Structure 1
């Protein structure tokens, strides 16, 4: 059956969607940590980690439970692809890695687990959370140079591992893991967070320039539509583009209310669930498409199902944990 997976846009947008989230996360977490340190004179690590746990862990472990112990027992959920070896292969090692929030390491070592593979980015995110409050706290006076050093260090290691990967399986696995540990993209988002919070007027005036912003938006859209790949600096260049756009939408008075609509706000509330449940919805869509011999059915079914599952999860599952999150604000 014909599909649109060969279109350049769809070849690059999957990982770039995650990179956008990493940049946004770096921007928001940096801004919030700086606000807390400025207001209270310190960062409460306990409250920070509890907020992250209450938001992320419930859905994360629910998906693990389904992916490891429920779906493998039903042929409907089996994906016959070399990308997805049987869950039973290296089961205990994979399960332990997922439980201790190292799904990105599991993917690097053993490929992907059906319906669970999207959680690799949560591993990267949680590892970022583990490091970032301490970095902000200890290097407050040197944050932008420190973040630039993180980007340079990440790229240097990436280049080295890319050369070593041709010699040995160990280096291949380490290179695979490092390519999923995109802390440099979060650091780029963090730079924009520092510029915003510390009110760097000269840099802000440049970033707020209307022509520059519109040019970045237009060129980013063109690059995405045509699937432009920037090679070794692919994700870093897109991260800078995303950072400029996020900075303007969050801080520029001209555009601050551009996305302030109730439907968009609600989608923002359930966006985590949409990311975590979309593979389940996609599998249902694929099975329906196979049965009806139509790829169009896949696209028609998947998005509404993703929103439905995410809404149910948010209203009747996630909110139970989120009410405890308020006590750690």
Structure 2
């Protein structure tokens, strides 16, 4: 790890971003083919789970990096500038987020090449514009509880959850005892949600059908509520930042790495599922992977190749734009080459064009939109 007065750099983390982004891209390619009635491999459980796993890896990585940066600033300055923190997050997250949201609501519905798995989102759903405020307020995960999301910006649900995490996490880390503050926040949240849910589901006179709908909505909301996976990343950041030598020396052993990575592959490859704790369960393995490739000089995995580093650098754009590009490529292939291509030929053309065009779009986005804002963002590093 290299550290300067203003910034913190960990090796291999762009490689982690690459793995996460391309896991989601491959998952959505097969999902879109499935939803559009095309031959696909979506029922293969690894492909079906790749999206969740990729997003989970993103969440743990986000929790790790943000927590380490906050701890570093607090240690260096004696405090955390929440104003500068939020300005940095706004400059990094908001531009691409709002670009894809506005395109999905106002531009893509006008062009048939962007008609996705459900055709034209605008014509399909009478509640189309009722969903817009949720997206504008960074609450897409809440909006999903009430309305179906426009498919081409549906991936923003995870961005909304990250922003909600950022809304509270700096204030917790600022405190003298962050762990105690975190427990208080969790207790208050559980008390409010638990008592409200208990009232509506058990004590109220609402019809059973309404209660069932409330339960269904709560289940959907919490199935996407991944803040604990980001907290797991934060725990990893604390271990690295505070140099917990006894713990890290064990975690960093080559024998430990081989054992844990083997278990990770077996768990993912055998589709192990733990009800109610599956996301967090995977999160601990992802956290182990991240702290090893980022902070272990004896890591057995090296993700620092130039191509992977570059693709990881533009991974936010890949995550934001890929669904629209995949749909565009499928429609373009059918328009120009017809519907009778064999599955192997279609897949080669689709994956080549979708990945190539996604990388091109993201490269342009990174050069002309993100990079100028990243330079501006550096002014608010402390």
Shared fold, TM over 0.5: yes
Query: C-alpha root-mean-square deviation of aligned residues, in Å?
Result: 3.0
Q: Are the counterparts in 2 of residues 101 and 123 from structure 1 also a CA contact under 8 Å?
A: yes
Indicate conservation of the 8 Å contact 1:102/1:123, yes or no: yes
Cα distance in 2 between the residues matched to 1:92 and 1:145: 38
Q: Which entry has the higher C-alpha Rg, 1 or 2?
A: 2
C-alpha contact 1:68 1:87 (8 A) present in aligned 2 = no
CA 1:313–1:142 in structure 2 vs 1: closer, same or farther (change >3 Å)? Answer: closer
Maintained 8 Å contact 2:141/2:158? yes
Q: Aligned partners of 2:218, 2:40: CA distance in 1, in Å?
A: 34
Q: Which runs of 5+ in 1 are unaligned?
A: none
Is 1:323 aligned to 2:323, yes or no? no
Distance 1:108 1:84, change over 3 A: farther
**Residue in structure 2 matching 1:143, options 162, 179, 196:** 179
Superposition pairs for residues 18-33 of structure 1, below 5 Å? 18-33=55-70
| 2-structure distance, mates of 1:50, 1:308 | 28
Equivalent position of 2:249 in the other structure: 205
Task: Work out whether residues 122 and 128 of structure 2, in 8 Å CA contact, stay in contact via their aligned partners in 1.
Answer: no
Structure 2 partner of 1:191: 235
2:48 paired residue number: 11
Give SS of 1:29's match. helix
**Which one of 353, 362, 365 corresponds to residue 301 of structure 1?**
353
Give the match for residue 17 of structure 2.
none
Q: How far 1:264 moved relative to its partner?
A: 2.0
The higher-RCO structure (CA 8 Å, 6+ apart) is 2
Task: Report what 1:261 is aligned to.
Answer: 305
1:108 maps onto 2:145 in alignment: yes
Q: CA deviation at 1:59?
A: 0.7
Give the secondary structure class of the aligned counterpart of 1:231: coil
Partner of 2:379, secondary structure, is: helix
TM-score, with length taken from structure 1: 0.89
Q: Is 1:115–1:279's contact at 8 Å kept on the other side of the alignment?
A: yes
Alpha-carbon separation, structure 2, partners of 1:148 and 1:244: 27
Give SS of 2:293's match: helix
Shift of 1:232: 2.4
Give the whole-Å Cα distance in 2 for the aligned partners of 1:215 and 1:141. 34
